Structure 1
Amino acid sequence: MALVHIPGSKSITARALFLAAAADGVTTLQRPLRSDDTEGFAEGLARLGYRVGRTPDSWQVDGRPQGPAVPEADVYCRDGATTARFLPALAAAGHGTYRFDASPQMRRRPLLPLTRALRDLGVDLRHEEAEGHHPLTVTAHGVEGGEVVLDAGQSSQYLTALLLLGPLTRTGLRITVTDLVSVPYVEITLAMMRSFGVEVGREGSTYVVPPGGYRATTYAIEPDASTSSYFFAAAALTGGEVTVAGLGEGALQGDLGFVEVLRRMGAQVEIGADRTTVRGTGQLHGITVTMRDISDTMPTLAAIAPFASGPVRIEDVANTRVKECDRLDACAENLRRLGVDVATGEDWIEIRPGVPSGAEIKTYGDHRIVMSFAVTGLRTPGISFDDPGCVRKTFPGFHEAFARLKGEIVG
């Protein structure tokens, strides 16, 4: 059995940094993820005047319920979608002029539903080039609050940004959602807000966020479930056994649900109090599965799909087309490079059984494409990547950790 220690969750670390910055007092974050995305978020907070102290295993953040400590700032969000979407909302609660820009990859990703909602709430926000994309400038005067309608069908992060902002407004928020993808990520947000002293109410499709701010706390970051999917898939593919420590019953992240997909395909799964184990059985069955709520694990499933005994069809994943790259097309293109028969539609991909042959994977600078096809490489010699280093976004030590795993379960 391979016991794997996965770095902290990117999604939880980003939310915790926002909550810590907004809370009244000093918050300690235990075992946060240290990667390009989260370091970029912490750097953005520092640019806005928040103090972020770091030790090897924890970060301490001095909260400022009144908003950024500086009247002007220029924040570079790197490739981080959480940084690029959450920090403008945080800045809006303060008083000053704050400019946000991002990498070319992040500039391409959509932002308009969120910025339109912020404008509806009275935030003075201007897109400098393409409407609905970075760069943007927020001229902040605090946020009164009120009612707003939001389409979160492209990304649940739009809703999370508004939920996190709500307690910092003067009168609270009522957010009516017309469409919502990746619901488990919203549940993460609500649970974490509760840990920082805020209870969000619901009235049908409307979220009711009270004013009053957050209280500082000590918060432990659980391992990243999306990253764990590559290690669980490795066990299912090779007939090995992998246990991820620290991720079990009561985990906040919906992406742990990926192990249930592996169970349906024939793997054995045990979810304990503080760990999850997947054992491969030597066979993978074809499957049709809706992955709207766990779409970050779609490439993981696509990468092992050729080894199933029947077709694997993944449905309701249109939102993966507006991630770091168009992941539906990227998976299809790379599977075809490996000689696999693939068909795609607007929101689905179907992969037929085949015997992949080695080729260079075109990564599009997307960490999840690299990590997913690294799993394929456990059964297919000769796989390489045009940009293997892009894993630094969420797991800088991925290749070393995966090589150790390969040695333990494959030999």
Structure 2
Amino acid sequence: MFCRDGAPTARFLPALVAAGQGVFHFDASAQMRRRPLGPLTRALRELGVDLIHTGQEGHHPLTVRANGIKGGHITLDAGLSSQFLTALLLVGPLTREGLQITVTDLVSAPYVEITLAMMRRFGVEVRRAGDTFFVPSQPYTASRYAIEPDASTASYPLAAAALTGNSVTIPGLGSGSLQGDVRFAEVLGRMGAAVEMTSDSVTVTGNGRLHGLTVNMRGISDTVPTLAAIAPFADGPVRIENVYNTRIKECDRLEACAENLRRLGVPVSTGRDWIEIHPAKPSAAEIACHGDHRIAMSFSVTGLLTPGITLDEPGCVKKICGRCGSPRT
């Protein structure tokens, strides 16, 4: 299987096939090969899975010689990606004895809540005690399942409304949403936009002004580039904190945001897990997308108020959405 740029595909399926029988070979794009896989594959090996990395250890490509998974207790570091935990949670019911997963660190926790809620809808109740998840061994059962709109992608039109003084409503996302990234609307509210949220919709209305703020975005880190792209228009500094994991996405998103803001003439500074952007009127420039759809989409919002912004790689937005499987076009 060639996983291209799809991180969920590249991380979930090696765990899934390990519960089956046969030999499975996985590879991915150069971009995905650079992204870490080690915490997941170490956990699978602890469970007795015959797995080898045929290139760099802890990265694609890899080969799984599957003969089912007995189950048992493992310790997992999910501080780089919640997808490592999701992969193990999803395969847990297919093990012979179930899984007990103790997590030492966890980023993007709202995505794990999506996984647990989905598993519940398909008949599997995962019990959690502190940092340990208990996954029973039992079959999934068929169910009708409504898929929400992608809240991360919704951040672009919501940011555009806040930036330009317009109003945008996203149906299907609201206070009842399972996705943590719907909270990006709350960030826009702190910046001065009017936010109205019902159980199944969110509306953001801008007034042409944005305020600076300091915000911890560890739980909604996919929306960091969106906020960075509109930050120059705020009336004070915008500081985004606790987002180290954005450095190991499709690209180093903290550095990519800083690079492009500097291209636009915007003062910016960064640290290991933070970026701070100061108010400035952006100038026309070419955006370096680094093959990352989120960089392209985010700085396209900047372009709404900055004539002359171009993208060096607009085709990168054709990436397949890791959560719903549809192309981002």
In the superposition, the TM-score normalised over structure 1's length comes to 0.78
List gaps (5 residues or longer) in structure 1.
Answer: 1-74, 399-411
Moved more, 258-267 or 386-395: 386-395
Question: Secondary structure at 1:78's aligned position in 2?
Answer: coil
Q: Distance in 2 between matches of 1:216 and 1:100?
A: 28
Does residue 294 (structure 1) correspond to residue 220 (structure 2)? The answer is: yes
- Closer, same or farther in 2 for the Cα pair 1:201/1:396, shift >3 Å? closer
Correspondence 1:5-84 to 2 at 5 A: 75-84=1-10
Q: What amino acid is aligned across from residue 261 of structure 1 in structure 2?
A: V
Q: 2:16: which partner in 1?
A: 90
Q: CA RMSD in A?
A: 0.9
Residue in structure 1 matching 2:51, options 125, 133, 142: 125
Does residue 284 (structure 1) correspond to residue 210 (structure 2)? The answer is: yes
Q: What amino acid is aligned across from residue 266 of structure 2 in structure 1?
A: V
Q: 1:249: which partner in 2?
A: 175
Q: 2:294: which partner in 1?
A: 368
Q: 1:192: which partner in 2?
A: 118
Relative contact order (C-alpha < 8 Å, sep 6+): which is higher? 1
Correspondence 1:12-411 to 2 at 5 A: 75-393=1-319, 394=321, 396=327, 398=329
Task: Give the total of aligned pairs.
Answer: 324
Q: Distance in 1 between matches of 2:7 and 2:131?
A: 24
Q: Distance in 2 between matches of 1:121 and 1:306?
A: 48
Q: What amino acid is aligned across from residue 307 of structure 1 in structure 2?
A: F
- Closer, same or farther in 2 for the Cα pair 1:309/1:247, shift >3 Å? same
Aligned-pair CA distance for 1:156: 0.2
Q: Distance in 1 between matches of 2:328 and 2:284?
A: 23
Runs of 4+ in structure 1 deviating by more than 2 angstroms, as ranges, are 394-398
List gaps (5 residues or longer) in structure 2.
Answer: none
Q: Distance in 2 between matches of 1:218 and 1:272?
A: 23
- Closer, same or farther in 2 for the Cα pair 1:196/1:246, shift >3 Å? same
Q: Deviations over 1:161-206 (max 9, x none)?
A: 0000100000000000000000000000000000110000011110
Q: Distance in 2 between matches of 1:326 and 1:231?
A: 23
Aligned-pair CA distance for 1:274: 2.2
In the superposition, the TM-score normalised over structure 2's length comes to 0.97
Q: Deviations over 1:300-340 (max 9, x none)?
A: 00000000000000000000000000000000000000000
Q: Distance in 2 between matches of 1:219 and 1:391?
A: 27
